[in-house]
Structure 1
């Protein structure tokens, strides 16, 4: 455990010093990865404020909810904050009491804590259920993943990774009440949290048998806590705004709907072409990983990954796919299981290079996912 703490602290120190230097080393114009990015709104000034560089892009929405709550008051882009799930901003609001009302510091502090909890559960899960793998390796592969800076930015990645790992861990331990509770919290964190129902009920049926009797047993009830988080959030939309399906309607304004989003394929600049190529590489990578996870790891891992990626791709865009797959922890278990040292070292080299690039992008308010 001491080694895990050291790895965690070193990562937090190194990645944040690097990000701070990256912000102040470059004099960059505003990004042009997408045609909706306006130079006036997204130009980033240099600053030595370490805390503030963790609040970019969607961070402002979580901070807005924490400070002002949900509303149907649109901003200059015609967007609303009601598509962001409530648990993370609620926790920021609570933590702000400990940071003298500094909501950005509260969000950053929370994610550092959640990241350590996620690493702890990943370590325990690998050590107990994959004893043939050095449990430190998946931790390292997670921390050098190209989009890993989001784990310490004011986004939901660390919280969601912690909760989903905890749900999986307790499901594998056959403690389905705990799995249901953590799954419930995950489904209050982001829309894909409800998908944890699939692997958890798979593990339950694997333990109790794929038969009608298993479905009628009271032991299955805690698993149905998982979708209650999502249903509760949608019910809030109905009670507050009069529309149970408001989330899906507003998502269209965010460029996410069950139709092809042509704007994502608008190659109007060199950055837009490169950004699309990176997204395409992430998709090829995750599809290959899913196949190997089904072959070499657990079926429940594969089912969860298929469902998550399917939801992401069904939105009609590849946007943010690199960040979305960051929380799919079986990736790191699979990478750690690679026997060929040349392949493993090649991945480490490539991943660190991309992590550096995405960290520079995020710090300078460029699109990074």
Structure 2
């Protein structure tokens, strides 16, 4: 099933490369009259590298740039786990292309994420329901980033693996996975919230604090080296948050952006409509499956 969704997504992405593009920009590495590429002159591979891929590969190749007084260091907004894994795996493979290694790493992490998502859901629901969850995840249009040179599949794997380990009472392994998730994505710390709820679960179903919650000190401590890195490089332990101002972004509550008044009404209606369609489609599909 995972292979089928990846081929479906890949087909549409490659098809999109045949449409007319705007004038070349500095980040296009090469091209001919029919195709401009950023990383490889192979359509089926180059489509997996876009936007933030450049930053992750730069960090993997040259580490984080030093502070510059004349502007923002954009690389600081991207967390170090994924580029570190790419660089390490490249070295183990004898200096293999960072882009190729990133592709390989993303596919492996996606496969592991699917396996442990299935295992996690099966703890509470039948196998058919678990398979439906996997299908919905991989059929989601934005799931193409799970196969791209991005940290999304790595973060997904760490999340479902950590929660699976908490549920199966492997708290130490879960704590390490949560610590790595903190280094994978800026919102990796959110995974500590469902883990906390599970660690507080008791046999009678009533939540209460137990010594198990002390395992969450591991991801908390994992934040400190990250803050120290930004303090040493940029003189600001929260520079990775403040650099978001370069893109005119700011922290906010989830889904609030859907109701912003400075965008066209059509954008909001489309987003809400697609969200409702996804919810009703999922409920309809679940209703056809076993209870």
Which of the five TM-score ranges fits, normalised by the shorter chain? 0.7 to 0.9
Matching of residue 244 in structure 1 with residue 192 in structure 2:
no
- Alpha carbons of structure 1 residues 337 and 199: separation in structure 2 relative to 1, 3 Å: farther
Contact kept in structure 2, 1:138 and 1:335, CA below 8 Å: no
Distance in 1, Cα, partners of 2:15 & 2:94? 25
Q: CA deviation at 1:15?
A: 2.6
What is the root-mean-square deviation in Å for CA atoms of aligned residues? 3.5
Deviations 1:260-308 (A, max 9, x none): 99xx9766xxxx88666555556x559x96xx9xxxxxxxxxxxxxxxx
Deviations 1:123-163 (A, max 9, x none): 11122222274322111111110211111111111011100
Contact kept in structure 2, 1:72 and 1:81, CA below 8 Å: no
Gapped regions of structure 2 (runs ≥ 5): none
The correspondence for 2:116, drawn from 115, 121, 125, is 121
Q: CA deviation at 1:166?
A: 0.5
Moved more, 168-177 or 140-149: 168-177
Distance in 1, Cα, partners of 2:229 & 2:110? 29
Moved more, 203-212 or 118-127: 203-212
Number of aligned residue pairs: 272
- Alpha carbons of structure 1 residues 148 and 22: separation in structure 2 relative to 1, 3 Å: same
Contact kept in structure 1, 2:5 and 2:139, CA below 8 Å: no
Contact kept in structure 2, 1:141 and 1:335, CA below 8 Å: no
Matching of residue 339 in structure 1 with residue 280 in structure 2:
no
TM-score, normalization: structure 2? 0.79
User: Which residue is 2:77 aligned to?
Assistant: 83
Matching of residue 69 in structure 1 with residue 63 in structure 2:
yes
- Higher RCO by CA contacts (8 Å cutoff, separation 6 or greater): 1
- Alpha carbons of structure 1 residues 242 and 336: separation in structure 2 relative to 1, 3 Å: farther
Classify the secondary structure of the residue corresponding to 1:51.
helix
The correspondence for 1:164, drawn from 156, 159, 164, is 159
User: Which residue is 1:206 aligned to?
Assistant: 201
Contact kept in structure 1, 2:90 and 2:101, CA below 8 Å: yes
TM-score, normalization: structure 1? 0.64
Matching of residue 58 in structure 1 with residue 52 in structure 2:
yes
Gapped regions of structure 1 (runs ≥ 5): 1-6, 31-38, 293-331, 342-369
